[in-house]
Amino acid sequence: MVREDGKRNFVMLEDGQKTKQFTGRMPRQAALKAARRLEGYEDCETEDEAKDDPTEIRLLERGTDRVHVYHAWAWHDSAPDDKPGWMQDNEVSTVTRGNVSKQGIEHIEK
């Protein structure tokens, strides 16, 4: 269901349970947010290294029966030179980046 600001809510499904909620205008935007929070990629320092072992994520679009299925991976990268002030204040030197590849849409039968 689309909110007034054009954003939609998606809930991550893990083992049939609704776990985390992500918001975005498009499903891919929510999937990218979810990818950055994946566990198990702490040692990956390049995208190619992380892409070799993708994780399947399933995002249920709230208010519909659609489940968006993605292969997702994440890796750690050095922080950009033009990082915002809060990163400079906390001396953050790395950021987590994520990427996704859509595998399809499934429909839940009610």
Asked if residue 1 is part of any domain, the answer here is: no
Asked if residue 31 is part of any domain, the answer here is: yes
Asked if residue 19 is part of any domain, the answer here is: yes
Give the pTM.
Answer: 0.87
62 with 96: CB under 8 angstroms?
no
Q: What's the mean per-residue pLDDT of the chain?
A: 91
Element (H, E) at 35: helix 27-36
Structure confidence at residue 109 as a pLDDT band (50, 70, 90): confident
Asked if residue 24 is part of any domain, the answer here is: yes
Asked if residue 80 is part of any domain, the answer here is: yes
Q: Which DSSP state fits 80?
A: P
Asked if residue 28 is part of any domain, the answer here is: yes
- pLDDT tens figures, 37-89: 998 888 888 898 898 989 999 999 999 999 999 999 999 988 888 888 888 78
Asked if residue 2 is part of any domain, the answer here is: no
57 with 12: CB under 8 angstroms?
yes
What residues contact residue 82 under an 8 Å CB cut-off, 6+ apart? none
Structure confidence at residue 94 as a pLDDT band (50, 70, 90): confident
The residue type of 40 is: G
Q: Which DSSP state fits 87?
A: H
Its domain, for residue 83, covers 8-107
Asked if residue 62 is part of any domain, the answer here is: yes
**Number of structural domains found in the chain:** 1
